Structure 1
Amino acid sequence: MEWLIAAKPVVFLHAFPFSPEMWSLQVAALAGEYTVFAPAMPGLGGREPGAASLDAWAAELDERLEDLGIEEAVFVGLSMGGYLAFRMWDLFPERFAGLVLADTRAQADDEAGLARRAELAAAVRQRGPEVLLDDFYPSILGETTKRGDSEERRAAAEWIREMILEADPEGIARALEAMAGRPDSRPLLPEIEVPTLVIVGEEDTLTPPEYARVMAGGIPEAEMLIIPDAGHMANIENPAAFNTALLGFLEKVYGG
């Protein structure tokens, strides 16, 4: 699903193994004031699987932005979306008016990480997206969400679970392979000279706050914000705090 609403372009890049639906709370918050483009990556969000390459995804995204007449935008990438944002910056830096890196990291996978992705890709191809409920699903939820002390938290956890189960197995596998093939983005950090906001959930154990500090410390004049009571899916687990941070940043980039 994609949205195109008004002016001041914002491009949302979704996480693995989700679809643009994961951004619906942010799209609603931006409605009427910003042009919101939330593309589905190949193999996810109902799209046919494509190349298992973030560089190929970036090239396709650049073409789609050209077709839409979007010359510059603020890119908002969460987790895998952050990896894609780094590839976009490396290949098409002229596209950026600003950058939000949420619950992601700049470093590439180590050998153990590469092995885990390969094993998971094989398992998903054999058994389907249910495989992700074993370890991946619990790992992306913060402790506050896991406790489910409120109806909102329980609904957030269930929504995340449902989106995982809706994902296409081959799309999941190719996304895992695309992420495994990404380069180390830390050398890019000093070159990022557009306004940048680094966001991380306080309870994120996959890409914890120390990873966010590495990115924020390496990017000239980057801001960093920690979202309280949220894990890896901070935009869904604590959307009020996430949206406040995002809207404040967009106002700085585009003006109030």
Structure 2
Amino acid sequence: MWEPQLEAVQGHPVLMPDILGFETLEGAAAHVLVEMDQRGWQKAVFVGLSMGGYVIFRLWNLEPERFAGMVLADTRATPDTPEGRRLRLEQAERVRKEGMAFFPEATLKSHLGPTTHARRPGVVAWARQAQLQADPLRVAKSLEALAQRPDSTPLLPGISVPALVLVGEEDTLTPPAEARAMAVQIPDSRMLILPEAGHLASRENPKAFNTALRGFLRELQV
């Protein structure tokens, strides 16, 4: 998923933990901390997109002292709506029964922006293949964890490290208005809307994403 960003963070030590398949987002966050401890890392700049952003909020709730900064991309602090929760649980049940074959058709239209669907067949093919190769049981567990995630909005005013909020201008799942509402509540935040990108902005417009990420790391002097 983060392959296009590796060049942008060249020269920095990088850890890319696998957060798929935990029964709770707290479990995924604890796994990230274990991997940090195994590397001897006391602090990090945490970068998360979509579910990764939800895990960042759980990390902040667990051990805020481990943060040097955070990047919240195409994510939100609010929980699922009742309708959104119902849809996730239905998808989880279907994945358990049928596997992943139906999943790209059910999700890619909303996960990728119209510009990507029209002009970036390689990105569409990558996203489809990544979904089809995912382990169904792990996907189902993550969908259930996402459906049950708590409201992280109360955490926002207490975030005491610099935060970069990124969102694709064509993101309909966690739209720019949601990102803006989140950014205004984080004391030391800056927000950028990435053009011609949907919900998977790091893949859809990696040039804009990487430029923002590099600038943020320079600002943090890490």
Q: Which of 207, 211, 214 does residue 247 from structure 1 map onto?
A: 214
Does residue 194 in structure 1 map to residue 165 in structure 2? no
Native 8 Å contact 2:74 2:166 kept in 1: yes
Does residue 60 in structure 1 map to residue 31 in structure 2? yes
Distance of aligned partners of 1:166 and 1:174 in 2 relative to their CA distance in 1, 3 Å threshold: same
Instruction: Name the Cα RMSD after superposition.
Output: 1.0
Does residue 102 in structure 1 map to residue 81 in structure 2? no
Q: Once the 2 structures are TM-superposed, how far is the Cα of residue 214 of structure 1 from its aligned partner?
A: 1.0
Give the aligned partner of residue 108 of structure 2.
137
Higher relative CO (Cα under 8 Å, sequence separation at least 6) belongs to: 2
Amino acid of the structure 2 residue aligned with 1:108: P
- Local SS of the residue matching 2:145: helix
Moved more, 134-143 or 222-231: 134-143
> What is the alpha-carbon distance in structure 2 between the residues aligned to residue 55 and residue 136 of structure 1?
25
> What is the alpha-carbon distance in structure 1 between the residues aligned to residue 49 and residue 38 of structure 2?
24
Describe the superposition over 1:189-221 as per-residue Cα deviations: whole angstroms up to 9, x where unpaired.
000010100000000011000110011011002
Does residue 39 in structure 1 map to residue 17 in structure 2? yes
Give the aligned partner of residue 175 of structure 1.
142
Runs (5+) with no aligned partner, structure 2: none
Q: Once the 2 structures are TM-superposed, how far is the Cα of residue 42 of structure 1 from its aligned partner?
A: 4.3
Describe the superposition over 1:110-154 as per-residue Cα deviations: whole angstroms up to 9, x where unpaired.
211111111000111111112212221111111100112xxxx11
Residue identity over aligned pairs, in percent, reads: 51
Amino acid of the structure 2 residue aligned with 1:120: Q
Q: Once the 2 structures are TM-superposed, how far is the Cα of residue 254 of structure 1 from its aligned partner?
A: 2.0
Give the aligned partner of residue 85 of structure 1.
56
Describe the superposition over 1:133-178 as per-residue Cα deviations: whole angstroms up to 9, x where unpaired.
2221111111100112xxxx11111111111111011011000011
> What is the alpha-carbon distance in structure 2 between the residues aligned to residue 99 and residue 29 of structure 1?
16
Native 8 Å contact 2:20 2:139 kept in 1: no
Runs (5+) with no aligned partner, structure 1: 1-21, 44-50
> What is the alpha-carbon distance in structure 1 between the residues aligned to residue 8 and residue 82 of structure 2?
40
Q: Which of 180, 183, 187 does residue 213 from structure 1 map onto?
A: 180
Give the aligned partner of residue 25 of structure 1.
4
- Local SS of the residue matching 1:130: coil
Native 8 Å contact 2:167 2:179 kept in 1: yes
Moved more, 52-61 or 195-204: 52-61
> What is the alpha-carbon distance in structure 1 between the residues aligned to residue 189 and residue 219 of structure 2?
13
> What is the alpha-carbon distance in structure 2 between the residues aligned to residue 38 and residue 173 of structure 1?
21
Does residue 128 in structure 1 map to residue 95 in structure 2? no
Give the aligned partner of residue 42 of structure 2.
71
- Local SS of the residue matching 2:6: helix
> What is the alpha-carbon distance in structure 2 between the residues aligned to residue 200 and residue 168 of structure 1?
27
Q: Once the 2 structures are TM-superposed, how far is the Cα of residue 28 of structure 1 from its aligned partner?
A: 2.6
> What is the alpha-carbon distance in structure 1 between the residues aligned to residue 196 and residue 27 of structure 2?
35
Q: Once the 2 structures are TM-superposed, how far is the Cα of residue 29 of structure 1 from its aligned partner?
A: 2.4
